Amino acid sequence: MKKCYKCKKHSCLNDFHKDKSRKDGLCNLCKECKKTKDKGNRKNRKRYNLKYYSNNISKYKKYNSRRRELHRIDPRIRLRGGCRARAIEKGLDFDLKSYKDLPKVPKFCPILGIPLICGKGKNFKGGGTDNSPSTDRIDNDRGYLKDNIQIISRKANQMKSNATFEDVEMLYEYMKKQRRKQCQTMTIITQVSYLDKLKNKVINILTLLGIVK
């Protein structure tokens, strides 16, 4: 049995969270009191953060502006942060100790050949674009490792995604068939249009000759 510091009730040891900083290895508050305290702390912290932000808006704007500027200078800084977050979330291996461990950002996407652009453009509305650089794992079965990372365009990364070589080959064959059908349809439409024009010309000539009224 253990006495709760707040409610003063005696409860069994299972009703207390573990706390290595204490001699008995248990929190001095029971689980119910700890839950109530944490809920109040969250509300107070949220209220404090909102107040602090409203009093330091210019400071936050300068900070965000500086981050965007650093991203334009070298996108690898934020790209590494994204890799680390995804590695933790998915439980993958990660050995990128510095953003310099990432390969240098090429001027053009090695897959699609489109230019890689960071920051604002004419039609920029926030977030990434098809031309934004993104990190791609060469082998999706491995983690974010130095020898398994390449930087390509966001468009190419979305197209590649988790698809295998066979999946991409099937997609290519399907799109090839669709393109062939479109070309055949356009050819038929062009031929029909040409015949209509030829028919009108013949009718005009016959009308001029007085054969057709």
- The CA-based dihedral angle spanning residues 200, 201, 204, 209, taken in that order and rounded to the nearest 10 degrees: -140
Annotated domain spans of the chain = 59-160, 164-213
The pTM (predicted TM-score) of the whole model is 0.53
210: left (phi over 0), alpha (psi -120 to 50) or beta: left
Q: What is the pLDDT along the chain (213 residues), one digit of tens a residue?
A: 888 988 988 889 888 998 888 888 999 999 999 899 898 999 899 999 899 888 988 888 888 888 778 888 888 888 998 999 999 999 999 999 998 999 999 999 888 888 988 865 544 555 678 888 999 998 888 899 999 999 999 888 888 776 777 777 777 787 778 777 777 776 776 766 766 776 676 666 556 656 555
Q: Read out DSSP for 102-140?
A: SPPPPSB-TTT-PBP--S--TT--SS--TTSEEEEESST
